[in-house]
Amino acid sequence: MIRFLFFNSMLIGLYFKQNHQNFLNKTKMIDWIITLIMGISYFLSKLLFSRVEEISSYQILNQIILFIFLYYIFKSFLGIEEKLNRIPLLIKKIINFLASITLEIYLVQYIIIPKLSYFIFPLNWVIVSITILISAFILNRISNRCIHFIKIRGEKYENTSNRSI
């Protein structure tokens, strides 16, 4: 189910990336209100479905709430993109850093969370978060070097194959 959720989130992101001009700098207060309501609804439903066994068979509703919540998160933040471009450089760098390693965060969290979740809260959250970020950064650097190496080898191959024609 969790992989379906991530895939669903990525599809929503793709939709907004392809249609970003339709939403750019066009946010309304109602979008933020719906985002807030859906965020609260998502976390409350998550809590209720995990604690109240009688309603746990309706957990699919949580995914529908999450879908709507994500839609309005994307819509709201695209609507204030111009304002976001004016945030301080340090904050932009942190956001860009996190954005550049999101795939790697997604990949390493499955291994790290179960291994380090035995610490008490909030210590476990801090340790898990830092470990995920460091591991994702290292994986990102390794994969970027591999991709760079493959591109260089591919370009060399293309150059030698073009000469023989």
- Residue of higher predicted confidence among 155 and 79: 79
For residue 4, pLDDT beyond 70: no
Give the separation between CA 80 and CA 37, rounded to whole angstroms.
19
- Residue of higher predicted confidence among 162 and 147: 147
How high is the pLDDT of residue 164? 55
Give the separation between CA 23 and CA 63, rounded to whole angstroms.
24
Cα torsion at 29, 31, 34, 35 (round to 10°)? -110
Question: For the whole model, what pTM was predicted?
Answer: 0.56
Instruction: Give me the half-sphere count of Cα atoms (radius 13 Å) on the Cβ side of residue 15.
Output: 12
42-46, 56-60, 157-161 — which is least confidently predicted? 157-161
Summarize pLDDT for 32-56 with one digit per residue, the tens: 999 999 999 998 988 888 888 888 7
Summarize pLDDT for 103-146 with one digit per residue, the tens: 888 888 888 888 887 777 777 888 888 999 999 999 999 998 99
Amino acid at 148: H
Distances (CA, A) of 64 to 41, 47, 60, 79: 11, 15, 7, 23
For residue 8, pLDDT beyond 80: no
For residue 67, pLDDT beyond 80: yes
How high is the pLDDT of residue 5? 64
- Residue of higher predicted confidence among 50 and 25: 50
How high is the pLDDT of residue 165? 54
Task: Respond yes or no on whether the N-terminal peptide bond of residue 122 is cis (omega within 30° of 0).
Answer: yes
How high is the pLDDT of residue 37? 95
Q: What is the mean pLDDT of the chain?
A: 82
How high is the pLDDT of residue 133? 92
